[in-house]
Amino acid sequence: MLYHYRAVDEKGSVVEGDVDAAVLQDALLFLSQKNLRPLSVDPVKTEKPGTIQLFKGHITLEDKVFLTKYLGLMLRVGTDLLSAINILIADASKPAMREFLVEVRESLTRGEPFYKTFEKHPKDFSVTFVSLVKAAEASGNLQKTFEDLNTSLSSDADLQSKIRAALIYPLVLIFMALAIMTFLVTFALPKVAAVFSQSNITPPFFSQVVFTIGLFVGNNIIAFFVILFVLVFGSLFFVRKTETGRRTMDAVLTHAPGIKNIYRDIAIQRMAATMSSLMKAGLPIVQTITIAADTVPVVEFKYALLRIANEGLSQGLTIGEAFRKETVLPQSVTSLIAISEKAGHIEEVLGTLADFYASNIDASIKTAVALIEPAMLLVMGFVVAIIALSIIVPVYQMSTASF
């Protein structure tokens, strides 16, 4: 069990920390051996494995940006690692982040390597992140690594925010279209259809079709929304939690017009950024490329990188030669890697390549949204116009017949 203590040392200074002990007596014995006079020794409450914690949240990309930024800053000004973690714990308001930092502190107190705690949270910290921290801890260069990680994560956060911002307007249009359709089929169409059913005027054929579909949807609107809800969340679960779903989504995104180029550019950007960071940290090239393969969303790119690492380089090929054998990767990228390897500055070129593709992705997203928005407006306008005409034309017939 973990105990948190406050004690007075031989110089009369108040110190505090954590000690892992089976019972309270063992914790007091530990303090006695350290010549510390305890002021308070309290058990640290930890959640049991499997406990469901509602509203705890999870560690987000923004949390990781905050963590790397302030760890890098505090290490730069000379703060030791344990003190830096304690400062972050005091400032952390988010339960998930605070719990993780407490776990880091416990691990450091027990003398475990710093990277071990990150390694225990693969859903929150990627293999790239853990590998960089591990290499930095071994080389004693944590401060520079955290600063580089902060730059990389900030770039990823900026890209994600741009994608979200670009999708907001299309999503609003979809929501408005569903709201208008729901209103028409549940309120407008039933009333208009009832008027014609009580009169002797037969509406045009296309109006009858729209009325029939509208009345059917209106009478079963709850069932339709339930089906829509199940389809949406079922698809999300299928794509995110199953290998078949991920492969299916990859195939769709890889071949979808207007999206496939952005999707491939994101894959190249991640590959270049990851390889640049890991090579600067001093990781072996085979391990670097293998880790980079796990960050690439395009499946064919992932397998190409694994072939480069496990077949090309293991057979004695140079990095450039191994990359040039893979025709699925853009020729411009493989050529740049081959040239930069000969020049001896492949890490810098990969970093520049990552920045170039990040800018290209931003421009491509803006162009795609600029095309999607008017297309969605046209589709929504067309659907509303069909429904409106199906109502207006028979109403006009009814009014002229009455005269």
Query: What mean pLDDT value characterizes the chain?
Result: 81
Q: Note the pLDDT of residue 308.
A: 92
More confident site: 259 or 68: 68
Query: Residue 56: what pLDDT?
Result: 53
Q: For position 268, what pLDDT does the model report? A: 92
Please give the pLDDT value at position 359: 85
pLDDT for position 307: 92
Burial of 94 (0-12, 13-18, 19+ CB in 10 A): middle
- Top-ranked range on mean pLDDT: pick from 5-14, 203-212, 296-305: 296-305
Q: What is the pLDDT of residues 339-377, one digit of tens each?
A: 998 888 888 899 899 889 888 888 888 887 778 778 878
Equal CATH topology for 61-151 and 169-403: yes
CATH architecture designation of domain 169-403: Up-down Bundle (1.20)
| pLDDT value at residue 49 | 43
What is the pLDDT at residue 45? 55
Residues with Cβ within 8 Å of 256's Cβ and at least 6 positions away in sequence, in order, are: 263
User: What pLDDT is stored for residue 182 in this prediction?
Assistant: 78
**pLDDT score at 2:** 67
More confident residue, 212 or 309: 309
Check residue 200 and give its pLDDT. Answer: 65
pLDDT-based confidence at residue 402 (cuts at 50, 70, 90): low
The answer to whether 259 touches 298, Cβ cutoff 8 Å, is: no
pLDDT, position 214: 74
Give the start-to-end residue ranges of the domains of the chain.
2-43, 61-151, 169-403
322-338: b or e for each residue (b if 16 or more CB lie within 10 Å)? bbbebeebeeebbebbb
Residue 47, pLDDT > 50, answer no
Banded model confidence at residue 384, pLDDT cuts 50, 70, 90: confident
Which is more confident, 27 or 161? 161
How many whole angstroms separate alpha carbon 32 and alpha carbon 49?
A: 32
More confident position, 400 or 138: 138
113 or 186: whose pLDDT is higher? Answer: 113
Q: State the average pLDDT over residues 144-159.
A: 86
Taking each helix axis as running N to C, give the angle between helix 346-402 and helix 331-343, from 0 to 180 degrees, rounded to the nearest 10. Answer: 160
8 A C-beta contact, residue 294 and residue 317: no
pTM for the whole structure: 0.68
- Compute the half-sphere exposure of residue 89: CA atoms within 13 Å on the CB side of its CA: 15
Closest CA to 124 of 142, 106, 103, 100: 100
Contact 114/108 with Cβ under 8 angstroms? yes
Give the whole-angstrom CA distance, residue 19 versus residue 249: 48
User: Between these two residues, 40 and 35, which has the higher pLDDT value?
Assistant: 35
- pLDDT for the residue numbered 91: 77
What is the fold, at CATH topology level, of the domain defined by 61-151?
Answer: Receptor-associated Protein (1.20.81)
pLDDT tens-digit profile of 50-109? 444 444 567 888 889 989 998 888 888 888 888 888 888 877 778 888 889 988 888 888
pLDDT in tens, 291-336: 998 888 888 889 999 999 888 888 888 998 999 888 888 888 999 9
**d(Cα 128, Cα 277) in Å, to the nearest integer?**
9
